[in-house]
Amino acid sequence: MTKVIIGITGTLGAGKGTIVDYLVKNKGFIHFSAREDVINKEIEKRGLPITRDNMVLIANDLRKNYGPSYVAEELFTMAQNSGKNCVLESLRTAGEIESLRNKGSFYLFAIDAERKTRYNRVQKRKNVQSDDVSFEKFIEQEETEMKSDDPNKQNLSKCISMADYVFENNGTFEDLYKQIDEIIKKLS
């Protein structure tokens, strides 16, 4: 397989991390994370607590100051420098995707699942402060990130519509892994 860079987008708790883990552990991909490799580092630099609201605020601020595709461009540079197949998690603006599409060997995966299923997953993982929210807050956060006319703000709905491959993740891990395997074979 020639060097491939896969971007991941999708709704909160849909399984973006599950796809990443599978590609890394089973397909030898290298992982670069918008949250860990760019946004959280900037939050820490500014001395703020790492919360979902701050992640959105800082990501939007970075895009406003450096361009709508800034976060994705940073991840793409890291991926190119690795010289390996890579997965970039998580793309959240149309500008990021458009920018990466122009670079070649880039494919966008989107993932979604039923809202209640996603909320339950987020509650189970509670691996970051941003997961510890009520169902109402979860819905509010999601709606904030789903649509925006501002190119510097999240628009998951638009990103999902731009995907090369969309995964519905309402079943088991094995169901999702089969879907991923089929697509990776196509890309080989």
For residue 111, the domain's CATH number is: 3.40.50.300
Residue 126: predicted pLDDT: 66
The angle that helices 52-66 and 135-146 make with each other, rounded to 10 degrees, is 10
- Tell whether 68 is covered by a domain: yes
- Tell whether 124 is covered by a domain: yes
103-133 pLDDT per residue, tens: 878 999 999 999 999 999 988 876 665 667 8
Compute the distance between CA of residue 19 and CA of residue 48 in angstroms, rounded to an integer. Answer: 29
Query: Band of the pLDDT at 182, cuts 50, 70, 90?
Result: very high
- Tell whether 186 is covered by a domain: no
Report residue 14 as tokens.
């849909």
Q: CA nearest 75: which of 25, 30, 110?
A: 30
* Cross-strand partners of 57: none
Range of the domain at 44: 5-181
- Tell whether 123 is covered by a domain: yes
When divided into structural domains, the chain yields a total of 1
- Tell whether 188 is covered by a domain: no
- Tell whether 40 is covered by a domain: yes
* Range in 57-61, 122-126, 153-157, 175-179 the model is least confident about: 122-126
Residue 43: pLDDT over 90: yes
One-letter identity of residue 73: E
**Dihedral sign for Cα atoms in the order 64, 46, 99, 10:** negative
- Tell whether 107 is covered by a domain: yes
Cβ pair 35, 55 in contact under 8 A: yes
Compute the distance between CA of residue 161 and CA of residue 159 in angstroms, rounded to an integer. Answer: 5
